Amino acid sequence: MKIIQSIGILLFLVGLAVFTVMPFLGNYTLTKEVVLSSTKDIHQEKMVNILEPMYGETYSSNFSFLSTYKEYFNEYNEHLKAESKWDDVIWDDYSLSLAQSSLNSPVRDSPWLFFGLSIGLAVLGGLMYNLPKYRGEPEGIKNNGIFHSAMKNRGWMGMITGAYLILFYIILYWFPAYIVNQIWMVTPLSMLLSGNPASQWFLYGTLYTLAITVMGVRMFRKYRGNKYQQLRTASVMFFQTAFAFLIPEILVLLNQPYFDFKNIWPLDYDFFYDYQIDTFLSSGGVGMFMLIWGILLIVIGVPAFTYFFGKRWYCSWVCGCGGLAETLGDPYRQLSDKSVKAWKYERVIIHSVLVLAVVMTALTIVNYFSGFALLGNVTNQLHSIYGFAIGSVFAGVIGTGFYPFMGNRVWCRFGCPLAAYLGLVQRFKSRFRITTNGGQCISCGNCSTHCEMGIDVRWYAQRGQEIVRSSCVGCGVCSSVCPRGVLKLENGSTENRINEMPIIIGNDSIKINA
């Protein structure tokens, strides 16, 4: 079994290496035709002139191609900016589409081959590593060696993994022109699903879904014998694959708007942006359904489901961010900060993001109906600031890139405005709580250590108190790792949900006058 696992690791690393060297493959040749087909009508004439010196030249790397492109392009723009001819400046970034069309590379020629050699090998290797785990061992959760691991305890492997993830997100969000090979690689898959060429977002979605699948298999192995963990893992795998990945692509294939039916505002912060609303309104019955569905989820779905089940119904059973955190991120859950100080930061930051998202959306809606009469420019500014700072940096770069440094729920705990909204309902109007089993707690600290949200579960458990916290995503791991059967996630009567036990059950010495 060890041999299969070692081969698995090897294959995974080979796949990762192929994926990593891919941007350096092939060369770039720009032609006039490419420029014409890749630019907007209003810019075509200018761009054809600006880039004329590049035609016919073969650039051996994306670096030389893109730097030459930028040289000519910026020269043109700087000139106009210096003369304050703002209307003539070209604000669009054509680097991605030009690089994509100019590329000649083995990846573009045989995308499936490279798909197999990179993603395919990595997935195969990951499965070969995960599937035989714990084979021949009795059922039971083993957190053996987590804090002796260079990967899971901020050692060198964790540092490298984190750095790689951060770099990947930075390139994905701001420099996608450098990874056109990978985009070409997934293009045939995209054509199959939606009939359209791939974007960097399709590449990202593919990797994301596969990461959840492969690491979901790891969850099945790790938590074997634990039905709660298995079911919720299956649930996030299903919602990611079907709702986040396949259905939106198929909608596009059917000429409908791209839509993720389980993504809820304010996590889905652009739901009320003018172009989104226009898309919904211009897409007939289906578009209208999407708009109404989205609004119903916000005003009825979230409060009702959270009242009955707690925020876990979304955060650890449905959500895509949660899905990645619970699968790819599970090996890092113990790295969350449990201090009271971290809790204070958490409350300030996450509720600030919620307020920001609400204000921004309110302004957007007002502007939509008033035809951008009120603070029209500010709305656009807000959109780009929010998209950059919250949507990309916080949710992506920090949210996932920091798994190996601060645990797998950094975004969900500190940043997600939907988690803040769900949390307010969970804290003040919900049947959900984690019940403490009388006086059985031995203060060992497994629950707190393995809480991904940084909740000091033991603080409550050792007092015999129920745990009611807005941040709890109900992953159930505290209950799974408790050696004495003390914790149970429950939906029950809201009466006495928050209990202050003066004396822990089992001691009759002290009578409290009730």
In the complex, which residues of this chain contact other proteins (CB under 8 A)?
138-140, 143-149, 226-228, 231, 339-340, 435, 437-440, 442-446, 448-449, 458-459, 462, 476, 479-481, 483-485, 488-489, 503-510
Return the ∠ at Cα 155 (arms to 153 and 158), rounded to 5°: 85
Measured CA distances, 251 to 44, 195, 323, 332, 443 (Å):
31, 10, 22, 35, 51
CA 57 to centroid of chain Cα atoms: 40
Name residue 58's beta-bridge partners. 29
Q: Which is nearer to other proteins, 38 or 226 (CB)?
A: 226
Nearest-approach distance from CB 78 to other proteins, in angstroms: 55
Contacts 24+ apart (CB under 8 A), 275-280: 277/368
Burial class (CB in 10 A: 0-12, 13-18, 19+), 261: middle
Nearest-approach distance from CB 219 to other proteins, in angstroms: 15
- Using the 8-state DSSP alphabet, how is residue 215 labeled? H
Closest CA to 306 of 164, 173, 430: 430
Nearest-approach distance from CB 457 to other proteins, in angstroms: 11
Nearest-approach distance from CB 297 to other proteins, in angstroms: 23
Q: Which is nearer to other proteins, 32 or 224 (CB)?
A: 224
- With beta carbons less than 8 A apart as the criterion, state whether 94 and 39 touch: yes
Q: Which is nearer to other proteins, 398 or 461 (CB)?
A: 461
Nearest-approach distance from CB 143 to other proteins, in angstroms: 4
Q: Which is nearer to other proteins, 116 or 155 (CB)?
A: 155
Nearest-approach distance from CB 314 to other proteins, in angstroms: 17
**The tokens of 357 are what?**
């998202």
Measured CA distances, 357 to 346, 379, 394, 406 (Å):
17, 12, 14, 24
Nearest-approach distance from CB 319 to other proteins, in angstroms: 19
Q: Which is nearer to other proteins, 119 or 468 (CB)?
A: 468
The length of the chain in residues reads 514
Q: Which is nearer to other proteins, 189 or 475 (CB)?
A: 475
Name residue 28's beta-bridge partners. 59, 103
Q: Which is nearer to other proteins, 231 or 385 (CB)?
A: 231
- With beta carbons less than 8 A apart as the criterion, state whether 457 and 473 touch: no
